[in-house]
A = this chain, B = another copy of it.
Amino acid sequence: MNDTDPEPPARGFEKTEYEQRCTLIQKHMRDQEIDVLWLSTHADILYLTGFLTQFWQSPTRPWYLLLPRSGKPVAVIPSIGEACMQRTWVDDIRTWPSPDPFDDGVSLLVDAVRELAGPTPHIGVPMSSESYVRSTLQDQSAIRSALAGAHWVDATPCIRPVRHIKSASEISKLEFVCNVVSRAFASVPEIIQTGMTEAQAFRAFKVACLTQGADDCAYLVGAASANGYNDIISPPSDTVILEGNVLILDTGCTFDGYYADFNRNFAFTRLDDATRDAHQRVWDATEAGLECVRPGAPCSDVFHAMQRHLLNTDSGECETASVGRMGHGLGIELTETPSIAAFDDTRLQEGMVITLEPSISYASGKMMVHEENVVVTDSGYRLLSQRASRDMPIIN
């Protein structure tokens, strides 16, 4: 970072912020008659505790958090994480030396559930779309058997609406990391040239993101090929970038656990008309979507505004790409709910952070994808990413 770059926001959150998150979720728990939440994933545990670690990349050990109907969460975790959890606001930390093939936290968890919620608890577990339980099927079965008197309830509706609304502190982290990525994209004409392989170009961009202030650039997908691309989730190859190629870089960078997620497209030396037009069309579709972003608007309205623009044949024939949606929530996961999709009528609220990501298929199967990150304000939206130019930049 140079001297003119903004200072990063403070890491972590005040204890009151975690208290508010728990209180809001506990209100939903009472409405749903849930006695205790059983959480097992990186994002849910991070959200309620501040327990931030890349150790989740190791699939070996299970990590559990229980949230009773009132009071603070209780951590049931491997002892290797005790010191890290002790630095959070959680007081009640129960540990065991994991991995233990005979009892990998199962009896500790079962005892804690009984203690917090009695012998016939209503236990909330995330069960709906975009969730999973990070526990072996054998352990899940053992836990259900040991808690034979329990009722199991989908906890997704307790957690999701609370996580949807980002606090001012969360938004400051998201805005910072979006600025980092905007600066990294602005540097692309200086760091990526024809003659580099995709792998070299990706590496240069990752270094730029780190240098600009990202903690990590663990998500970078894309492709470079002649007259567009047809794959937006692949790692880089050893293919050399040539004149006439189009490069898409789509990145999820993090600061203090919060993601930026947007892409940019670059042409090298020259740009054919179809690709130039496709970029303008997804840019214009984003503009049409942005005009709908305000509190109270359903996500499906934003989707339809973008789709109407993309399918308007006055701008030439094309198809929308079948990637299921045109944007999503953003926060402590690379992609969160809600979906900017025809099926999602979730109403936007102040504090939601979303991506708008229209994509089309054009000119014999090539794709064009464009993405911006925005926060919903009291009257509309504020861009977190620096708006791309309507004309795809050409690197000479």
Contact = CB atoms under 8 A, between A and B. Distances in A.
A59 B333 contact: yes
B55 A221 contact: yes
A128 B132 contact: no
Contact of A99 (B57, B202, B215, B324): B324
Contact of A234 (B53, B104, B210, B339): B53
One complex includes copies of this chain to the number of 2
Interface in A178-225: 199, 202-203, 206-207, 210-211, 215-216, 218-221
A168 interface: no
Range, interface on chain A: 35 or more
Contact of A233 (B55, B98, B231, B234): B55
Given A84-B234, A233-B80, A57 B138 contact: no
B128 A133 contact: no
A170 B221 CA distance: 23
A60 B104 contact: no
Contact of A335 (B58, B81, B125, B344): B58
B132 A132 contact: yes
Contact of A54 (B58, B218, B339, B343): B218
A323 B237 contact: no
B136 A322 contact: no
A147 interface: no
Interface in A226-252: 230-238, 252
Interface string A48-79: 00001111011111000000000000000011
Contact of A238 (B11, B99, B138, B344): B11
